[in-house]
Amino acid sequence: MIVETCSNPPVSSMTNNSRQKKYFPMQINKSMTKQNNHSSTNQNRTDDDYGGGGNENEYIEICSKITNGDNRKSRFNHRENDSNRWWFVNFIQQFIVDPKRTLTRSRSATDATRFLGHIQKRISPAIRYDSAFEESSSSNKRRNNDCTHDKLSSFVRTRSLSLPDDSTYNVNHQILSLQRRSQTLARSSSVHDLHPHEVFRANELDFGPVIGQGFYGIARTVTLRKTGQIMVMKETKTLDKEAQKIFVKEVQVLKRLKHPNVLNFMGLLLDKDNQMCFLVDYIAGGTLKNVIHDLSIPLTWLKRLRYAKDIAAGMEYLHSCNIIHRDLNSSNCLVKTSGQVVVADFGLSRINLDDDDDVPTTMNDITLTSSFRREQRSTSTTISSNGNVVVVRPKTRRQLLRDRQRYTVVGSPYWMAPEMLKGQCYDERVDIFSFGIMLCEIIGRVQADPDYLPRTQDFGLNVHLFNQKYCSKDCPKQFIAIAIACCDIKPDSRPAFCVSHPWLEALALSVETGVCLSSTSNGENLS
């Protein structure tokens, strides 16, 4: 049984409160909680605005349950053979209770309490369904899975979306199209020279209403009097050190970035208490999560493919700048009224600027470095024995050394990559997994919550159930295949954004024009 085999955390010498403080430093900050409650009543915010919800008492109660070994044991002992709670238990035990690991973001802790809520209240129907299915047809499933996996991996390896079945032509075309892509990207990046970020003064701005709250900050609209431009001002809720650190990190990352699919940083504002606020573009369409789950909004496949393509483009750019987002999810992507999606919320991202041979110091450097890397990637297309095109992404010496380090476990658990959930070393490919979960949300208009989106025991996607329950017949097969490939448990098998972005672009074009892409698009390799 999972509980018995996991080592017990050294919690006995700690009081409940000190334990909670140690593992959830922000969550039980009284002043912050008060502030939350206060603003919650005043501003009609939902639990979701806090990234998970739950009041303080409920939270403390759940925390003490998590950290109380006896309680935990008695709660789980009578269900020793029930494997349905495997990953909740595993997650909570390893990451919430293990002092060697840290969750630097309380939101993760809050989400974890929701995980625990699942255990306490009910066994996930999706997972129950999964295990029933496994019991009744395990051999069938294995056969199906193997079969699907083979077909999918062949799709992952093949970028020949629109070509006749001629490998030489395929390869040339692929190389050409990759080069074209690389040039387009380099061009599109270079047009965005680093504009001077302003430090705004309060008397230049008209302050509008609060439009939302995250765990650490408040977002409100402001209008620049001079031009009438509407922006969003993000301010910290408290003077808490951790909140400030997250804010500084977000500014550090944002100010380096300039891409049509990444939230645009406008500048800084120091308020009268010298508390830092920063200004970003106002994105009027709201979060992608709201759009996906508001079933009154019709979403064509073309629209959904464009959402996916936009996120992939933003993430490709981010990874080319050596930034791991680490909290990519549908709440952190915003939809413009034009339908374009931008990736936002970089408070938890990780910038790797430690390679002194190619440290980008200005936007132009970033542009050069990233286009250089794209060139590198584009020229490293090789052919596998079966004639498929394999895109190999070479890494610099420093990148290789730096990659797959044991970074902190941060983010939102539903979107978190298995390697991060398991506390293993990880790299930028954790973002690809999160993207995969988002693609599932987009395809099935399903919540990432494992109560709805079926998952497997090893934290992956339950491909069979996902297909069965959430993929309608009219969904382009390649769209599903890309989602599944991104959710692969093995990071090596996930397509990099520089690969999935052109795939999605081609698919969107195909759906828009009605021109069939290739034999793959006819489903020959997939069904």
The mark string for 104-143 relative to ligand ATP (x by CB under 6 A, - otherwise) is ---x------------------------------------
Q: Is 451 assigned a catalytic role?
A: no
234 scored as a contact of ligand ATP (CB under 6 A):
yes
**Catalytic residue chosen out of the listed positions 49, 327, 345, 431:** 327
C-alpha to C-alpha distance for 343 and 334, rounded to whole angstroms: 7
211 scored as a contact of ligand ATP (CB under 6 A):
yes
Residue with smaller CB distance to ligand ATP, 416 or 517: 416
287 scored as a contact of ligand ATP (CB under 6 A):
yes
232 scored as a contact of ligand ATP (CB under 6 A):
yes
Contacts of ligand ATP in 341-380 (CB under 6 A):
345, 347
Residue with smaller CB distance to ligand ATP, 85 or 234: 234
Name the DSSP class of 392: -
Closest CA to 261 of 309, 205, 191: 309
The mark string for 163-202 relative to ligand ATP (x by CB under 6 A, - otherwise) is ----------------------------------------
280 scored as a contact of ligand ATP (CB under 6 A):
yes
Q: Give the helix/strand (H/E) hosting 383.
A: strand 381-383
Joined together, the tokens standing for residue 508 give 């969107």
Q: In 256-310, at which residue ranges do the beta strands (DSSP E only) sit?
A: 265-270, 276-281
Count of residues interacting with ligand ATP (CB under 6 A): 24
Sign of torsion, CA 77 80 84 88? positive
Q: Which of 25, 26, 29, 51 binds ligand ATP (CB under 6 A)?
A: 51
Closest CA to 110 of 198, 205, 233, 28: 28
217 scored as a contact of ligand ATP (CB under 6 A):
yes
Helix (H, G, I), strand (E, B) or coil at 475: coil
Q: How far is the CB of 495 from ligand ATP (least distance, A)?
A: 26
Closest CA to 368 of 208, 194, 248: 194
Q: In 90-202, at which residue ranges do the beta strands (DSSP E only) sit?
A: 198-200
- For the chain, report the end-to-end CA distance as a whole number of angstroms: 37
Region binding ligand ATP by CB under 6 A among candidate stretches 157-165, 280-288, 313-321, 481-489? 280-288
Name the DSSP class of 93: I
Closest CA to 223 of 236, 211, 238: 211
Residue with smaller CB distance to ligand ATP, 215 or 479: 215
List Cβ neighbours of 84 (8 Å cut-off, separation of 6 or more).
123, 124, 127, 128, 131
413 scored as a contact of ligand ATP (CB under 6 A):
no
Is 234 marked as a binding-site residue? yes
- Catalytic site positions: 327
Residues contributing to the site for ligand ATP (CB under 6 A): 51, 107, 211-217, 219, 232, 234, 263, 280-283, 286-287, 331-332, 334, 345, 347
Q: Which amino acids are annotated as binding site, given as ranges?
A: 234
